[in-house]
Structure 1
Amino acid sequence: MRSAVLFSILIISFLFASCRETENPITDFGLDYQPLEIGRFWVYEVEETIFFGENDSQTEEFYLRDIIDYSFRNAENEEIFVVKREKSVDLNNWDVIGNYAMQYKRMALIRNFENQLTVNLVFPPEVGLTWDAMAYAAADPDEFKVEFMGNATVGEQFLQRSLKVLQEEDDDEITFRDNRYEIFTKGIGLVEHYYEVFTYCSRNDCLGQMIIDSGRKTHQKILLYGKI
């Protein structure tokens, strides 16, 4: 008799929980961590260092402006947003340097940059969530992870409702360093991009000294954003 009563209680609890889930479905999937809308723009300040060899590097400071220029439907009837990228050294004169595309696909943000498809974010995001960023590319798997959600300081801006996607954090201090992450803010989009990928000198006379042989370090931080 006691077992029957317990079973009945469990059934009632399950039905009640199911009813509550039906009454309160998820409606905010977090797509606005990267809004996609024609006319949206983002201006970034960028510091970039390119390493050509031992003791040979070049550092440049400039600005990038990304503008969602137009959209189209592909063969699968998915809406693709084309982003025009411009470069400036003074925020006044801008030169178009290329474009890339973004789209939502199966609850994920897909970015097509330099013919490389990457899954940069999945929805709804939550801390600890991981995925293969190369799921749509003919490349080795690359695991991305939502490392934190909360407030973020980017440059001099304090940004609430942000999240950090850790793309890679590895440095064997002998042959390579690979540190990459991006920060997204709800209602704004990408606010910070960090890319630091080096190879170290591996000759016998410099092995283990962390002398950079080649690579690039790019730090891109949001300055302005809006819609035109």
Structure 2
Amino acid sequence: MKNTILYLVFILSSIAFLASCKDEAPEEPNDITIGQSFYPIKKGQFQTFLVKQTRYALNETPVTSTYQLKEVIGDEFVGENGEKLNEVLRYVRADGLDNFRLDSVFSVRKDDNVVVKMEHNIPYVKFDFPIEEGKTWNGNQFNARPLKDYLAEDVNISKSIGNSNFSNTLTIIESQDSSLVDKDLRYEIYANEVGLIYKKTESLLYCNQPECFGQKIIERGIISELTIFDWGIE
């Protein structure tokens, strides 16, 4: 009888010990650096894109144009709030026979938490670290526009863009709104250690007259694609 009681005490003590160990087990670390390599920032780093745009206007034939866009990371500077930013120099040319000319200057801020890119004086939160499949964040967090959930998907997926293959990419969906009246689709694809490699924008207004409502006949808007074909460090 005595041995039985001692055995039961041993069993109960072992169960209690294992339960306490389970409760005290550390949580898996939330590594905030995950995804940062998809948006490298180094002075002289560049990406060159082929841009194709089709513009639609009321009662006019759609006009399609192509040109080349080159984005180069420029000097670091201190912003109004003391934050460190980098210039993003944007050059354009009609084709490979022309020389690039400076078109505009954006800026970008990257820290342990976010990547914020200033585009036409409007800041957008491009990345919110850590990046993981299905994560969402407010891309308009630092501007006055309505809340807009950005979505990370296809994380660490290989993709072919243009004539190049990238073994590790992710896609950021910035907008995927669509109705019988309009369409607003915007997404960007990034490659590990390269940065942006593809961008698609469809901002369209459909005909809403009785004779064409619901047929998604484009009345006005723009469809734009950026496809990378060269990148590196200058």
Q: TM-score, normalised by structure 1?
A: 0.90
Aligned mates of 2:76, 2:160 — CA distance in 1? 32
Match of 1:205 in 2: 211
Match of 1:111 in 2: 117
Aligned mates of 1:110, 1:209 — CA distance in 2? 38
Aligned mates of 2:153, 2:128 — CA distance in 1? 13
Aligned mates of 1:52, 1:34 — CA distance in 2? 35
Q: Label 1:3 to 1:50 Cα distance change in 2 as closer, same or farther (>3 A).
A: farther
Kept in 1, the 8 Å contact 2:172–2:188? The answer is yes
Aligned mates of 2:65, 2:28 — CA distance in 1? 52
What RMSD over aligned residues (CA atoms) do the two structures have, in Å?
A: 2.1
Unaligned stretches of 5+ residues in structure 2: 1-8
Match of 1:53 in 2: 58
Match of 2:5 in 1: none
Match of 1:87 in 2: 92
Matches within 5 A, 1:127-138: 127-138=133-144
The SS at the match of 1:178 is strand
Is 2:82 aligned against 1:77? yes
The SS at the match of 1:140 is coil
Aligned mates of 1:177, 1:97 — CA distance in 2? 28
Is 2:13 aligned against 1:8? no
Q: Label 1:114 to 1:75 Cα distance change in 2 as closer, same or farther (>3 A).
A: closer
Is 2:65 aligned against 1:68? no
Q: TM-score, normalised by structure 2?
A: 0.87
The SS at the match of 1:193 is strand
Q: Label 1:80 to 1:3 Cα distance change in 2 as closer, same or farther (>3 A).
A: farther
Aligned mates of 1:144, 1:3 — CA distance in 2? 51
Aligned mates of 2:111, 2:144 — CA distance in 1? 17
- Please, which of 168, 173, 183 is the counterpart of residue 161 of structure 1? 168
Identity %: 22
2:214 counterpart letter in structure 1: G
Larger gyration radius, structure 1 or structure 2: 2
Match of 1:100 in 2: 106
Kept in 1, the 8 Å contact 2:32–2:130? The answer is no
Moved more, 105-114 or 6-15: 6-15
1:10-62 C-alpha deviation (Å, 9 max, x unpaired):
322344x42x958xx84843212111111111100110111122443211011
Kept in 1, the 8 Å contact 2:172–2:187? The answer is yes
Is 2:223 aligned against 1:222? no
Kept in 2, the 8 Å contact 1:54–1:212? The answer is no
Kept in 2, the 8 Å contact 1:36–1:103? The answer is no
Match of 1:146 in 2: 152
The SS at the match of 1:53 is coil
Match of 1:36 in 2: 41
Aligned mates of 1:103, 1:75 — CA distance in 2? 12
The SS at the match of 2:57 is strand
Kept in 2, the 8 Å contact 1:54–1:211? The answer is no
Moved more, 69-78 or 139-148: 69-78
Aligned mates of 2:119, 2:162 — CA distance in 1? 25
Unaligned stretches of 5+ residues in structure 1: none
Moved more, 43-52 or 98-107: 98-107
Kept in 1, the 8 Å contact 2:188–2:198? The answer is yes
